[in-house]
Structure 1
Amino acid sequence: MSLCFITDICTYFLSKMSELLKSVEKLPLEPTLPRLSLNDFRGGNQLPTWDVPEQEFHLGKKYPLVPMVFKNWELSEPDDLVLKLGTRQIRMNRLRFMCYSKFAMDHVKGGQRELVLPEDRVPDEGLVRACHWLNQPVAKLERGSIMEVLAAALYLEVDSLIKQVWFSLNLVDEFNEDQAFAVSYESRRLRHLLPVVGLDKTMLHRIQRFFLTLVASVEFVELPFEHVHYLISSENVAVNSEMEMLYVAVRWLTHDWKARAEYAMTLIKLVSLMSLPFEYIMDLQAGRVEEPVKYITELEEFPDFIYEAFTNHLLMEFDDGSRAIEQLRELFKVELPMQRPFICDNLSGYHRATPDDLAKVFSYEDFLDYLRVIHKNGIYSWKTLDVQHTSSRFKMV
């Protein structure tokens, strides 16, 4: 190949390159773009969403931690902590106990394997039942010893158990009548362990049909004055006759007259004497009563009190709704007597079919006979009783 031919080829390519460069210079410049990172793109750090009806998108742990821990406890849970209460020893899982109990969190240190509890602060039965509650996968409470459970839970600071006890006690249908008295009785017995003021009295308000069964028991005559006062003043307790309320007071007072005489007039004033049969009011005035009731009629304040009841009874019996009677009531400050719920228990010799029937006069011994029948009939006989209410404004009950 000759030198001239090579020279011609080079010249040709150079001319073509020159033409190409001239055409490139005529192209528009590249648009200016902002300098952005992928992280700055809109939504770049967010999960996308889908608008699909009735479908949810979840990204979560395939195996939740808490169920796995509980499952591990069930399969291999060592009872590595001993609770000591006197001579009793209860084995518990230390980790589980510390999870529930703030007291354990504060007092179980390091590798500690024993925890001694004070016998004067923790009820034995309450601790056993509380530990049983802690160990159950589905925690349930029983009525029995519920106040001891509460005392133990309060000392150990097991908040979840305390809340469940209070939730249960607020169920009136579960804790009424005899169950309410059981809670009241236990609350008073454990009052040094329970910083709950008034629970023992509050529960007495739930007693209605069970009242006379309670009066027949030894627990009644051993009640403190405050509890007897609360019961006799209650508008909720159901009776066959208001005379029974007088005899209820006599029964409690004469059980230990020397120690309780100072409370006599306080309790008698809670009884609506003006509601008693007129014949019996006159007997009380004249002192024509049985020996136990004479303890009351011979009190210094009683004559004035029964005279007032006598006057008010007459005024209310002849109340025809006239303005004159109304003025007399206002003058003598006569108030309508309490109308307690009524029960008709045909086991009593003085029962009436309805609260509007005329009341019968019966003796204190008749009342005691009725209590003896309750003893024989069993502590659950009250469950067959129906509660009624009088339809009249004033009735001799």
Structure 2
Amino acid sequence: MDLKHAKNAKKELEQNDAKEIVWTPIRALREEWKTSIETKNSRKDQHDRIVQFISHQRELGAGDSDAEDEQEQNVDEINEQERINDEKEAQRQQLIADGIKEQQRMRQAKWEKDMQNELHLLNDLKREQVYDHKLKNPIPITECHTSVHKCDESLATMSDLNKLVAQRVPKIMLDELLTEPLLSWESKMLPKKPDLVEALCHLFRQNIGPTLAVVVEGKQLYCHSMLLGLTSAFFNDRNFSQVLYLPASKIASRSFVNIYRWMLEPINSITLTQLVELMRASQFLAIEELSKQCWRLAHDVLKTTDRVLTMYIVSQRVCVNIEKIITPYVGRVWMSYAASREFTNLEFSKVRRLLQLDNLSVNTEMEVLYTAILWLDGDWPLRQRYAVDLMRVIRFDVMPFVFLIGFDRRKDGPPAMKYLRESVKVRKFIFDGLADLRLKPDRHVGGNGSCPRDWIYDPSCPYHHGHTCNTVRYATFNEFINYLQWVQRSGNLSVNRIKRYTDNDIVCC
């Protein structure tokens, strides 16, 4: 019997009990003498009442059992829910405890790291003190093996750090922190204030109380970190200790001294080597104003052709980046540079970069080819592997047609030229140039390709021609070498006689 049916039966029984009195075992019976018929009837009634009572109790028992089962089921669900809630609460408490432990561990790790950093700084301070003590109290050379410096060179410990902290943060009594009454100070009693800017500049110029020691190339230079931070972004963006080491590959000690001097007073004179060093150092230290000033001076220097080669050679020795920037200026004095010993000692990458320039001052592309052969012949056995790669930058399509046709049948020139005549790849370059020139009406002149050079005319050169000359262009390797020797003997004075290839006053043939 389901729960709903049991409830309905219980309700009906309660209604019946309200209408008639149902016999129960605890109800008292009237003790009266009855007849046999009445006795039989009463016994039958009693039997019926007992049967009805037992049925009633059974129905009540069935309903109560279902209710108890439902109640027990509800109790089990409540207990299960409480158990789940307890587990969740336990997990949350465990997560909170783990988080607290992790925060404590992180704070402990940070504290230990800070202590280690402080110990490292304290060790640096002790080393500087030992170094200063040894400088101030040198041991005579006769006593170097018997005497030692009387100074503590042991590493710093936590006790030393605690002493340093106690010195930095002294104990202050509470009475000292109490507010005292203000005193009136009249303006006429105030002394005249000094000019702080002038006083600060005096400290900088006299180098009084420097706060930073910069070590460059083993030299210790004492400076003011405030002055360096005002002019250099390199120093302004960093937090340094009392000693700073700068790489010697980026900046020289002389350059740093010149830069520090420039911060205090103007520089009136400087050499080309110092100028290139200052340009490199100003770029490394991120001093924008000094870098612009150096480049303005460099452009003025490069305007004169007699200083271009000197500055290019200096930049090769000092800074590669500056050498790459100055490389295009070498094209204006190309023949003078090709006649020098420095050209034959160049690296392959620099020679290739120079031969790729559009502003090479030559009269014909044959001179560029002979220049490449001259460099190869400078150390031919070792430079033979660069021969084909170097020919890739030669512009065969601007050479004279007759020169290209007879190049493979030439007998003159050094071994490098013989190797190029016999190379299959170089012949392919020549054939491609001939294919571009065969339909051009002025192919015997040359210089009319897609990528021409900066064509010039030197009256002192026997094989140079102007653009109006119809003579076939042709020059041998020996003629080119003789011209370079003449340029080397005459020096830079020959540069003043050089004219543009298109000048109308050129008379060559």
TM-score between both structures, scaled by the size of structure 2: 0.50
Whether the 8 Å contact between 2:217 and 2:252 is mirrored in structure 1 is: no
Gaps of 5+ in 1: 1-62, 320-334, 393-397
Change (3 A) 1:308 1:132: same
Query: Kindly tell me: are residues 71 and 230 of structure 1, through their superposed partners in 2, closer, same or farther at Cα, counting changes over 3 Å?
Result: closer
Seen in structure 2, the aligned counterparts of structure 1 residues 359 and 203 have a Cα distance that, compared at 3 Å, is farther
Look up the SS of the partner of 1:266 in the other structure.
Answer: helix
- Residue of 255, 259, 267 corresponding to 1:126: 255
How many pairs does the alignment contain?
A: 303
The one-character-per-residue Cα deviations of 1:111-138 (angstroms, maximum 9, x if unpaired) are x4x6543434422442233233223147
User: Does residue 1:306 correspond to 2:306, yes or no?
Assistant: no
Question: Take 1:366 and 1:260, find their aligned partners in 2: how far apart are those partners?
Answer: 24
Percent pairwise identity: 23
Identify the range of structure 1 (70-79 vs 244-253) with the bigger mean alpha-carbon deviation. 70-79
CA distance in 2, matches of 1:163, 1:351: 41
Distance 2:406 2:495 in 1: 35
- The Cα shift of 1:294 comes to 1.3
Q: Counterpart in 1 of 2:124?
A: none
Measured in 2, the distance between the counterparts of 1:108 and 1:259 equals 49
Measure how far apart 1:86 and its partner are: 3.1
CA displacement at 1:211 relative to structure 2: 0.9
Aligned equivalents of 1:388 and 1:156: distance in 2? 43
Give the equivalent residue in structure 2 for 1:99. 230
Structure 1 length-normalised TM: 0.62
CA distance in 2, matches of 1:118, 1:304: 49
Match of 1:117 in 2: 246
SS at match of 1:280: helix
Answer yes or no: is the 8 Å Cα contact 2:361–2:453 preserved in 1: yes
Say whether the 8 Å CA contact 1:343–1:385 is kept in structure 2: no
- Bigger drift between 90-99 and 336-345 goes to 90-99
Unaligned runs of 5+ in 2: 1-192, 505-509
Do structure 1's residue 371 and structure 2's residue 484 form an aligned pair? yes
Identify the match of residue 290 of structure 1 among 413, 421, 442: 413
Asked which structure has the greater CA Rg, the reply is 2
In structure 2, the CA distance between the partners of 1:140 and 1:97, relative to structure 1 (3 Å rule), is: farther
2:293 equivalent to 1:164 = yes
Please show how residues 302-381 of structure 1 align to structure 2 within 5 Å.
302-317=426-441, 336-352=449-465, 354-357=466-469, 358=471, 360-378=473-491, 380-381=492-493
Could you tell me which residue of structure 1 aligns to residue 281 of structure 2? 152
* SS at structure 1 position matched to 2:424: coil
Task: Give the aligned CA root-mean-square deviation in angstroms.
Answer: 3.8
Task: Measure the CA separation in 1 of the matches of 2:474 and 2:375.
Answer: 21
Which of 202, 215, 229 is residue 338 of structure 2 equivalent to? Answer: 215
Q: Equivalent residue of 1:317, what SS? A: coil
- State the shift of 1:148 in Å: 1.9
Aligned to 2:273, the other structure's residue is in SS state: coil
Letter in 1 for 2:208: P
State the distance in 1 between where 2:345 and 2:351 align.
10
In 1: Cα distance, 2:365 partner to 2:196 partner: 61
- 2:204–2:264 contact (8 Å) kept in structure 1: no
Matched, 1:248 2:371: yes
State the alpha-carbon separation in 2 of the partners of residues 83 and 65 from structure 1: 29
Q: 2:127 maps to which residue?
A: none
Q: Is the 8 A contact 1:125 1:149 kept in 2?
A: no
Report the alpha carbon displacement of residue 236 of structure 1 after superposing the two structures with TM: 0.9
Question: Alpha carbons of 1:78 and 1:237: their partners in 2 closer, same or farther (altered >3 Å)?
Answer: same
Which structure shows the higher helix fraction?
Answer: 2
CA displacement at 1:368 relative to structure 2: 1.7
